[in-house]
Amino acid sequence: MSDNPEARKAALLRRRRSDLTAQEIEELYDLKHPRKPRVGRDADPAVWYWGKMSPERLEEALESRRRAMEASKRTLERDKENEAAGRKREQEKRAASAGKDSNRESSQPLPITDDNIEADFFDLFEPGNSLTISTHYPGNPYGTSFYEYPSDKEDEDLFWDESDTRSRTEAVFDRKSQPSKGVPGNTHEKAVLLIEEILSGSPVDGPVVLLCKVKSGKDLPNLVVAKIFDPLFHPWDYPAGAGPWKEAARADMELCREAGAYDMLRSKGCHGESHVAPKYYGAYTTKVSSTQPALRHRTRRIGLILMEAIDHAKTSKELCDENEDESLVPITWKTIKFGKRSVRLNETLHLSVLEQR
């Protein structure tokens, strides 16, 4: 390009535009529209603005700018928090509105029925389940003409009333349906049992007999038999000449009578090794619940006794015959095997037991 811009511009203008190259067209444009150098504020407004200030004024301006930026940041954060809080309130409002009907329904108590009795039985006594038991001192034996009825028991505690329309399940969860207490002793122990096998019992057969392994417990062997008196699983009919007892009363009567009998044998040394009666380890209670939704937060206590687990143990039907009245009569005419031991339930054995009382 010529050192004389005007001469160069005149030379390019004399030529036909179609003969000019792209570079020459751009050069001609620059010659016709010369660019003025940018100075001061036009060159860089920011640099010009800050550069014109004194150091003191510049420091003040920078500090003011920092404060403005921090204030803007705080405002932005506060706006975000307010927005989040607003969203949360809106969600809670919608949830409360949506759940209004369901809350109204849930405020009504669920009915307590007997539909879960069988499920409760297997939920409680399924082999592999654990029972945590506590020492219990039952009241005196009662429930037959041979014993006096406890002074603290009213007819309404023992007999069903037609006006009582509760289900059996609801009744056994009543506070008055817990096992009765006698004179407390000096021993108060806890133990944990692991259920190994259901030896006898069902949801409608009354007492349940379990073979259990002792996971923890003072002065207990490795294996025990637990006989559990749970009113929920008693038969729906009544023995001849008895009742109509409440199920809780029947279970408590059976617990008190059986525990009383074993206590008497233990006090006379007539249980365990070399005796017909198995070794007795006392009475206990355990806390149980229900699979029924209406009772999911409630518990109740049931009574039980612990006995020695004997190999080759015999049942009453194996030890006795039935007479014409279907009463059990001990078999006195033959020897009965108890594992390695042999016993004859004759008059000699009977008298020897009586001598020890």
Cα–Cα distance, 135 to 286 (Å, whole number): 9
pTM of the predicted model as reported, rounded to 2 decimal places: 0.61
pLDDT at 341 over 70: no
pLDDT of residue 253: 93
pLDDT at 103 over 50: no
pLDDT average, residue stretch 116-137: 95
When comparing pLDDT for 3 and 130, which is higher?
A: 130
| pLDDT value, residue 266 | 92
Write the pLDDT tens digit of every residue in 215-224: 998 889 999 9
Look at residue 164 in the predicted model and tell me its pLDDT.
82
202-237: buried (b, 16+ CB within 10 Å) or exposed (e) per residue? ebeebbbbbbbbbeebeebeeebbbbbbbbbbbeee
Please give the mean pLDDT across all residues of the chain.
81
Q: Quick one: average pLDDT of 308-325?
A: 72
- pLDDT winner (highest mean) among 57-61, 111-115, 123-127: 123-127
Mind listing the pLDDT tens digit for each residue in 183-227?
888 888 899 999 999 999 999 999 999 999 999 988 899 999 999
Q: Is the pLDDT of residue 247 over 60?
A: yes
The residue length of the chain stands at 357
Tokens of 276: 């017909």
